[in-house]
Amino acid sequence: MDNEKILTIQSESKGIFTLLQRLQAPMSEQNIAILNACLGSLKLIGNICEEAMKGAEDDDGEADAE
């Protein structure tokens, strides 16, 4: 995983943390919007990690072939 992806993961994680700190019950329209933003960020984090894992697998395969 390159540094750019790691920085993206860190930035998204900090954003989730900040948003969750602002979440207040009962669920208002604003809180639902915050929750949706958090879920979107989690999906992005998952996609980035999946891509990184595929890249690592490809690198391993190339190293074995050499």
pLDDT for 26 equals 82
pLDDT at 22: 85
Cβ atoms of residues 13 and 44 within 8 Å: no
- Mean of per-residue pLDDT scores for the chain: 83
pLDDT digits (tens, 9 = 90+) for 26-56: 888 988 898 899 999 999 998 998 888 788 7
Q: What's the domain count of the chain?
A: 1
Identify the pLDDT of residue 38: 92
Give the pLDDT of residue 61: 64
Check residue 44 and give its pLDDT.
Answer: 93
Q: Which domain holds residue 24?
A: 3-65
Determine contact, residues 52/8, Cβ cutoff 8 Å.
no
Residue type, 44: L
